[in-house]
Amino acid sequence: MPVRSAALIFVLFVAVGAASGENAAAAGKLTEELPTVKCLGFRWLIGGDDNHNARVRVEYRKTGAKQWRRALDLFGVETRGMRKVNRPPAGQRLFAGSIFDLAPGTRYEVKLSLEDPDGGSAVRTTGMTTWTAPTRPIGGRKISVRPGGLKAALKSAKPGDGIDTFSNYPCAAIDIYGNEISECTDDGFKGKAPDLGAYELGAKLPHYGPRR
């Protein structure tokens, strides 16, 4: 009888230990999203955490600064509705999130802290730079375009140039290849001009009659 009791206790101990191991988080691959002018984003694959009580704390600071600032925690993504190509590997959860309202063209240090009361906590620190807001070059030409000359003007234009169609066109419209839609005219909504809101590339320009 004592031998049987000892065996039962051992089995229970092994079962509890295995469950605890699956609940402990295991840090996986960290992916940095493409930055924007004021935003940095991250995706972090986390293994284990079967009881879903892990969290990822996010802190950031400008490079060279001493004090860390808090951002929103990464959130656990519900992956059942995701396409297979984007779904995390079996046994891993996806944590994702962003830091908002950052300064453009600035280097930041970001600290991601995985915290799990069941074990497996980890810290990842990385550096990322926000994009610089684009500015219009100074000294560009103003190219005035007349009907029939839009495609040539676009071909000859250089960065910073401006294309003026409003002075000579009653209505300016081009397709994605830069071809003019010559039938586009401002007819005072009398039914002669095509409805470009319903225009499909390669299809005949639709006309819906007078607008009332």
Q: CA-CA distance, 44 to 28, in Å (whole number)? A: 7
Mean pLDDT, residues 79-93: 83
Q: What per-residue string of b and e applies to 21-59 under the rule 16 or more CB within 10 Å gives b?
A: eebbbbbbebeeeebeebebbbbbbbbbbeeeebbbebb
Q: Note the pTM of the prediction, 2 decimals.
A: 0.60
Give residue 46's pLDDT: 94
Mean pLDDT of the chain: 77
pLDDT at residue 155 tops 80? yes
Q: Which of 67-76, 84-93, 138-147 has the lowest mean pLDDT?
A: 138-147
The per-residue pLDDT for 17 is 44
CATH number of domain containing 112 = 2.60.40.10
Q: Has residue 140 been placed in a domain?
A: no
Within-domain flag for 203: no
What was the pLDDT predicted at 184?
53
Domain extent, residue 62, equals 24-129
- For residue 42, tell me if it sits in a domain: yes
Strands of 77-132, DSSP E: 92-99, 107-115, 122-129
The pairing of strands 142-144 and 162-164 is: parallel
Q: Is residue 60 part of a domain?
A: yes
Number of domains in the chain: 1
Q: Which two tokens stand for residue 194?
A: 């095509």
Question: pLDDT tens-digit profile of 178-205?
Answer: 565 555 544 444 445 444 444 444 555 5
Q: DSSP label at 159?
A: T
With respect to residue 181, please indicate whether it lies within any of the assigned structural domains.
Answer: no
Asked if residue 136 is part of any domain, the answer here is no
**Domain membership flag for residue 28:** yes
6-65: per-residue pLDDT in tens? 444 444 444 444 445 589 999 999 999 999 999 999 999 999 999 999 999 999 999 999
Per-residue confidence at 206, pLDDT binned at 50, 70, 90? low
- CA dihedral sign, ordered 13, 19, 25, 27: positive
Q: Is residue 56 domain-resident?
A: yes
- Tell me the one-letter amino acid at 24: A
Q: pLDDT (tens digit, 9 = 90+) per residue, 108-135?
A: 999 999 999 999 899 999 999 999 988 7
pLDDT at 83: 82
